[in-house]
Structure 1
């Protein structure tokens, strides 16, 4: 739809001094189509985006039967605010290509007139790590159904912790759990955050970031969990919050969880931190396996009692993935067999509404079988209306549209599995041009 509108906007506004316009319109449409459908790598797209100041606009001066045809530039007819509106219908990759067409478009897209607040919400992209060690991979655009070869800044290994929000992605190393970076993977802007307080080598950690869409200020939360020495039933549990405006860590909370430990899953929705805690199999809670813990991070004076709000998950799960969809908490979970809690029999999606779990959907059997041999754990993330689900053992990527209740497979990833122990994982992020770390 966006592509059709873009091409239509140009072909319908072409003016001819004399003679037929069919060939001129066709040439322009073919030119724009080739621009939109180019299989360039993301690096070449970014290069043309950043270096397009010297590119002149294209003029067509030849038609059928020797008749001279002159194309009147679109920007000479339409005011900039109308051009802004046309650009607002384009996916992010097409906007970058449009900036390479001519100087005028470049300056419109880069100037303050092109306000992102007027941009229609972007469909999230999914970055898939295709190496067990290096942080190499491809990003999938569900609108154009294309994969782009992107080099992520900062991150060194694919097993790092990742969280994203409103265009920014946060990384934390998986060794000391103290090296934290924030970046925009589209424009490759990044910065390193101060090391968080607390234990340096926790047994379990999780990472969450929340970015304010209007002010671009952000909050980072790191949760650390470490076993109390010589007592497997007791686990130290701490929450550490970073404020980007003050550039400092604030309001650390420390407590002991009897019979429960932290995990690697957390998310922030509407000012509330949600995280999954795991049963240690003692203290009579061996059958519960998971619970949801909630804590209001907006409180100015944190207190342990304000975070002692836990809720059971809707059913026995092999794993759970917490997702922020338009400030609503959504969980994607592997549904465990009743008598074999480590065996997955399906995948469900639930939303938390007014403190109660509401089942949204379950992966249809034919799609569930499409994963092949699915382990009891898998990768899943999402934003806006899209949820991505991926098996660690293959490159198949399943996409669920919450608004349309529609399932579909992504376009085939350009990387295939080369050896049996090769693992794949990933995360989603919203592609944005204007936000910086």
Structure 2
């Protein structure tokens, strides 16, 4: 492709084009006016071949991400511009809406599915052939996504789904924990990222309860190393799978079988706690008996989605943590939407930017909520074969994840 491009630049047609462009400059210098035919030359598609890579990248940055990906297969040079390792212009890319990925492993063994664009309200086929379908534990931040097998705590992948650039990380600690919790945070200033893996295993049986042990493993991309600042017994407390990093603090739900209200512990990554007792003492209670379905970082605000149990009813709400460590109700899910979404399975949530996506493993539609506009909306899935997923083994599916389309971020 490079050879054909070099030949194109030396063809007589292009020499004639350069002559016309030089004539245009002389005419402009002579009388300050451009002839009509010269304007057509400047707008010709051929002239884009002569743009420097940085300028071409700047032009492409104004397009929707789908168009940029499609233009990346035009030729070798455009592919290199789109997937450049020095993406100086992509940092100023026009804002893009959050994407939601719903996997579908029907008849295939690779990591593939369908991608929903919340801005254009369209679905696309999407996948990463290098990844296996067992990576069902996910977390995302900015344009990066972290994937992990929930039954294999020894490794994980972090990467940019848009660029299909993935990095394998070996995780320390127990390789087969009872519960894995995964959190990812990207720092826009340092361009580094932090991965946290919380592993919870039961060690022995004390009376009618299990004894649980929690270890927190932290990876810093700037040092390319792991640290385990916390590894202690929780007693009868059990760590859940909902965890998120917000403003340098790791928030993690823990539960006790004797208590109906779960606790949200705040783990300062810069100053780890000395004991589990101090974590529990400073933990944040939920306002009432609450079943969490999502713990999200939306624009550096901690948001929780779940069900408030008010027998015989169940109300799904969105709560936001205020500065005084109390919860503020943002919105309640309409009853009609709640009944429809609860028809097939438990609800799971993910979010980025101002969008929250609520979905189940066996239901083709997703429910979205715009935090800025306070608007609930359904997104119909065009691939009707997923309506028959309820007849497939439950282990073949998981809920999905969302992320921001970015070209300036790599693991």
Global fold match (TM > 0.5): yes
Question: Quick one: structure 1 residues 306 and 221, their matched pair in 2 at CA, closer, same or farther if it must change by over 3 Å?
Answer: farther
CA offsets 1:405-425 (integer angstroms, 9 cap, x no match): 112222424242225344551
The Cα shift of 1:103 comes to 9.0
Q: Distance in 1 between the 2:159 and 2:129 partners?
A: 7
The Cα shift of 1:108 comes to 6.5
Residue in 1 that maps onto 2:67: 94
Q: Distance in 2 between the 1:239 and 1:303 partners?
A: 13
- Structure 1 residue aligned with 2:118, among 142, 146, 158? 142
- Structure 2 residue aligned with 1:183, among 132, 149, 159? 159
1:296 aligned onto 2:296: no
Residue in 2 that maps onto 1:253: 230
Residue 151 of structure 2 aligns to a residue in which SS? coil
Equivalent residues in 2 for 1:10-159, closer than 5 Å = 70=40, 72-73=42-43, 87-99=60-72, 115-131=89-105, 134=109, 135-152=111-128, 155-158=131-134
Question: Quick one: structure 1 residues 335 and 302, their matched pair in 2 at CA, closer, same or farther if it must change by over 3 Å?
Answer: closer
Question: Quick one: structure 1 residues 155 and 267, their matched pair in 2 at CA, closer, same or farther if it must change by over 3 Å?
Answer: farther
Contact 2:364 2:380 in 1 (8 A): no
Residue 367 of structure 1 aligns to a residue in which SS? helix
Normalising by structure 2, what TM-score?
Answer: 0.78
Residue in 2 that maps onto 1:366: 336
The Cα shift of 1:346 comes to 3.1
- Structure 1 residue aligned with 2:361, among 392, 404, 412? 392
Residue 425 of structure 1 aligns to a residue in which SS? coil
The Cα shift of 1:321 comes to 0.8
Question: Quick one: structure 1 residues 114 and 411, their matched pair in 2 at CA, closer, same or farther if it must change by over 3 Å?
Answer: farther
Consecutive unaligned residues of structure 2, counting only runs of 5 or more, are 9-36
1:205 aligned onto 2:180: yes
Number of aligned pairs? 368
CA offsets 1:199-224 (integer angstroms, 9 cap, x no match): 22221120111111243311111111
Question: Quick one: structure 1 residues 91 and 252, their matched pair in 2 at CA, closer, same or farther if it must change by over 3 Å?
Answer: same
Residue in 2 that maps onto 1:238: 215
Question: Quick one: structure 1 residues 314 and 86, their matched pair in 2 at CA, closer, same or farther if it must change by over 3 Å?
Answer: farther
The Cα shift of 1:98 comes to 4.6
Residue in 1 that maps onto 2:308: 335
Residue 121 of structure 1 aligns to a residue in which SS? coil
The Cα shift of 1:129 comes to 1.8
Consecutive unaligned residues of structure 1, counting only runs of 5 or more, are 1-51, 57-66
Q: Distance in 1 between the 2:225 and 2:130 partners?
A: 20
CA offsets 1:328-371 (integer angstroms, 9 cap, x no match): 111111233x346xxx7332111111111111111122322332
CA offsets 1:290-343 (integer angstroms, 9 cap, x no match): 2211111022x652366443111233223331011011111111233x346xxx
1:405 aligned onto 2:400: no
CA offsets 1:210-241 (integer angstroms, 9 cap, x no match): 11124331111111112231222531122111
Question: Quick one: structure 1 residues 362 and 323, their matched pair in 2 at CA, closer, same or farther if it must change by over 3 Å?
Answer: same
Residue in 2 that maps onto 1:417: 387
Residue 120 of structure 1 aligns to a residue in which SS? coil
Task: Decide which structure has greater strand share.
Answer: 2
Q: Distance in 2 between the 1:339 and 1:258 partners?
A: 30
Residue in 2 that maps onto 1:271: 248
- Structure 1 residue aligned with 2:192, among 217, 220, 236? 217
Q: Distance in 2 between the 1:365 and 1:418 partners?
A: 25
Residue 228 of structure 1 aligns to a residue in which SS? strand
The Cα shift of 1:252 comes to 2.8
Residue in 2 that maps onto 1:170: 146
- Structure 2 residue aligned with 1:351, among 308, 317, 320? 320
Residue in 1 that maps onto 2:288: 315
Contact 1:91 1:143 in 2 (8 A): no
Normalising by structure 1, what TM-score?
Answer: 0.73
The Cα shift of 1:380 comes to 0.8
Q: Distance in 1 between the 2:148 and 2:398 partners?
A: 18
Residue in 1 that maps onto 2:20: none
Q: Distance in 1 between the 2:211 and 2:75 partners?
A: 64
The Cα shift of 1:154 comes to 5.1
Question: Quick one: structure 1 residues 215 and 313, their matched pair in 2 at CA, closer, same or farther if it must change by over 3 Å?
Answer: same
Contact 2:135 2:148 in 1 (8 A): no
The Cα shift of 1:393 comes to 2.6
The answer to which of 109-118 and 206-215 deviates more is 109-118
